[in-house]
């Protein structure tokens, strides 16, 4: 279960039409008035977008923003070659994202849709959990369009377009990983309780966001949160590695503000499909409640929470 931190910076639309993004005091861009203005401008484009009636807004990225994308793409490339799972690498090659400029979300869709049928739409920041997952169920990914602060291009305290495109779009270009993600979204439409919805989101966190998988004897990453993070990708091999365990994954406390100390490993893509994919395809409120009771009985969470 998520315990600390704010994953996305809150966004406020004022009566005069201006949009303010509330960065944490520790955010690298907190004291940069131009960055704050730019974040508000990009968030405002998403807020005023008429979904279903208009194309996804085009953002005219600056040379500095293109430079951040290029720097991160360049630094991640050799790490991906060494540490990413072949399933992700093949998908990344098929998608062929640009490395010299920030792609528009429409360009991501144009590249991704012929491969797996997925499309990208814009969001100003946080999307309500059920709305986000419902869109996953229709093969639609809600993505931010802003970039991290240029003073720390290899670090971001919140998901930005680098995480959501380099991490997730490359992942979604794998038909097998895309199918698991779609199943997680479809599951949300069957679930009535918030507890069941959160359990699915937590299993998703420890798989599609921060999952690792063996390639023969070698441990490789496939999770978007690992593969879009210059720091996390170099640390996952030294974390506590546990076998796939749905009760544990669905109830383990985690802090989004630090590297994940515990991650779960699939033995293969087939193993991931059999355990996580099947869970997403079949879970309902009763099954989620049973899994929470199992977690309580095993001491993974207090009995009262079950």
209 labelled catalytic: yes
What distance in Å separates the CA atoms of residue 137 and residue 64, rounded to the nearest whole number?
A: 35
271 labelled catalytic: no
Point out the catalytic residue in the list 27, 80, 85, 168. 168
Among 113, 103, 91, 302, smallest CA distance to 208 is for 91
Point out the catalytic residue in the list 209, 229, 232, 273. 209
163 labelled catalytic: yes
Q: Is 209 marked as binding a ligand?
A: yes
Q: Is 168 marked as binding a ligand?
A: yes
70 labelled catalytic: no
Residue 12, burial from CB neighbour count under 10 angstroms (0-12, 13-18, 19+): exposed
CB neighbours of 51 closer than 8 A, spacing ≥ 6? Answer: 121
HEC readout, the chain: CEEECCCCCCEEECCCCCEEECCCCCCCCCCCHHHHHHHHHHHHHHHCCCECCECCCCCCCCHHHHHHHHHHHHHHHHHHHHHECHHHHHHHHHHCCCCCCCCCHHHHHHHHHHHHCCEEEECCCCCCHHHHHHHHHCCEEEECCCCCCCCCCCCCCCCCHHHHHHHHHHHHCCHHHHHHHHHHHHHHCCCCCHHHHHHHHHHHHHHHHCCEEEECCEEEECCHHHHCCCCHHHCHHHCEEEECCHHHHCCCCEECCCCCCEEEEECCHHHHHHHHHHHHHHCCHHHHHHHHHHHHHCCCCCHHHC
Point out the catalytic residue in the list 85, 163, 174, 232. 163
What distance in Å separates the CA atoms of residue 278 and residue 185, rounded to the nearest whole number?
A: 13
Numbered residues of the known binding site for Fe cation: 163, 168, 209
Residues marked as catalytic: 163, 168, 209, 228
């Amino acid at each position: 279960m998520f315990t600390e931190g704010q994953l996305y910076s809150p966004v406020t639309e004022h009566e005069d039409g201006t949009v303010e993004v509330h960065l944490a005091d520790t955010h690298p861009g907190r004291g940069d008035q131009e960055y704050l203005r730019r974040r508000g401008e990009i968030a405002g484009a998403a807020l005023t977008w008429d979904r279903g009636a208009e194309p996804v807004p085009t953002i005219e990225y600056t040379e500095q923003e293109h430079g951040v994308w290029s720097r991160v793409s360049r630094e991640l490339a050799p790490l991906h070659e060494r540490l990413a799972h072949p399933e992700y690498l093949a998908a990344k090659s098929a998608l062929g994202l640009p490395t010299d400029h920030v792609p528009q979300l429409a360009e991501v869709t144009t590249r991704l849709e012929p491969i797996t049928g997925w499309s990208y739409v814009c969001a100003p920041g946080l999307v309500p959990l059920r709305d986000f997952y419902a869109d996953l169920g229709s093969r639609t990914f809600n993505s931010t369009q802003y970039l991290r602060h240029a003073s720390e291009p290899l670090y971001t305290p919140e998901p930005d377009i680098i995480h959501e495109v380099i991490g997730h779009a490359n992942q979604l270009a794998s038909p097998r990983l895309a199918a698991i993600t779609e199943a997680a979204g479809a599951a949300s439409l069957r679930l009535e309780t918030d507890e069941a919805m959160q359990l699915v989101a937590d299993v998703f966190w420890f798989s599609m966001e921060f999952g690792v998988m063996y390639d023969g004897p070698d441990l490789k990453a496939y999770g978007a949160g690992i593969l879009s993070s210059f720091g996390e990708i170099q640390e996952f091999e030294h974390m506590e590695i546990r076998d796939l365990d749905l009760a544990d994954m669905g109830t383990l406390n985690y802090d989004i503000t630090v590297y994940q100390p515990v991650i779960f490993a699939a033995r293969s893509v087939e193993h991931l499909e059999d355990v996580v994919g099947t869970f997403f395809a079949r879970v309902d409120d009763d099954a989620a409640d049973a899994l929470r009771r199992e977690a309580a009985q095993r001491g993974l969470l207090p009995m009262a929470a079950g």
